[in-house]
Amino acid sequence: STLTEEDIVATVEYLVRLHAGDLSMTAPDGVEVPVEVDDIDHFGNRRLRTVGELIQNQIRVGLSRMERVVRERMTT
C-alpha cells in the first residue's frame, strides 16, 4: 500500500492531540486509537547485549588482529 493524503492528515492530527494531552482519537476508519507517549529510554525498548555476546565480539577482534599479524609475518 502507498502513503495517502488521509494518512498524513491522520498523523498530523495524532501529533496535535498528543501535544494537547488528549488520551484518544478516532482514526479515519472509525477505530478509537489511544494517544500515548512512548518512553524511548525504557529498557523494554532497547536490546541489551549479553556478556557472552560482548566477549564473542572481543575474541573476534583479537583473532582478526592476530590473523593480520601472522599474514604480514609470513609475507616478509
Q: Which amino acid is at 1?
A: S
Q: Is 28 found in the same domain as 57? A: no
Domain count within the chain: 2
Q: Is 47 found in the same domain as 32? A: no
User: What confidence tens digit (pLDDT) does each residue in 47-76 have?
Assistant: 888 999 999 999 999 999 999 999 999 987
Q: Is 32 found in the same domain as 53? A: no
**What's the confidence (pLDDT) of residue 74?**
94
Give, in order, the Cα–Cα distances in Å from 48 to each of 3, 19, 38, 40, 51.
Answer: 33, 31, 18, 14, 10
Parent domain of 47: 43-76
Q: Is 72 found in the same domain as 50? A: yes
Q: Is 4 found in the same domain as 25? A: yes
Q: Looking at the whole model, is its pTM more than 0.75?
A: no
Q: How many angstroms separate the CA atoms of 36 and 15, rounded? A: 10
Cell numbers of 30, please? 472509525
Q: Is 73 found in the same domain as 57? A: yes
Strand partners, 34: 24
**Is residue 2 over pLDDT 80?**
yes
Q: Is 33 found in the same domain as 61? A: no
